[in-house]
Structure 1
Amino acid sequence: MPNVALGSHYEEFVRKQLESGRYNNASEVVRAGLRLLEDHEAARERWLNEEIPARYDELMNKPSLGIPAETVRSRFETKRRNDAAKAK
């Protein structure tokens, strides 16, 4: 496996993790990060392959569960306006 360039941000993050005493070396930090990524990707795959199709089937069997597109657009627009007002 070749060496990887982390960049200054992640090099600093690894350094802080080592200083915390939680990890003994940079490899442990990277492996911990990769385990989290692996878990995240597995959860994403479950969501895409199991949860979404199940919700789609549920909606097809009971259309009253759906939300009209105009309602969704309106909610997004309201949120966008509220967020813009807060940013000012």
Structure 2
Amino acid sequence: MGVTFGWGPTEVAVPAPAALRAAPPAQPEARAAALLREATEDPVAVLHRCDSGRELYEYGYPQDVAVAAEADTSETVPVLTDGAFLEAS
């Protein structure tokens, strides 16, 4: 079982850390997210305090940080098709 962070082009599905270690090499973003979940009790707070999170706040997009911090909220995977994100079929 894993957790999905983010939405749309920034969504990262993260397997549980033990599953990540047993699986084939994952994308760097998935590995980083799994390590973050394993290393901290509050990964959402870390997202709000990281450089990218602070930049989004500064540019007036705090809601983007909140969306990126959502876990297990998406049931579909967006696929870039002809320049648009569509649900995977």
- Whether the TM-score (by the shorter chain) exceeds 0.5 is no
Counting helix residues as a fraction of each chain, which structure ranks higher?
A: 1
Counting strand residues as a fraction of each chain, which structure ranks higher?
A: 2
TM-score by length of 2: 0.27
RCO higher in structure (CA 8 A, sep ≥6): 2
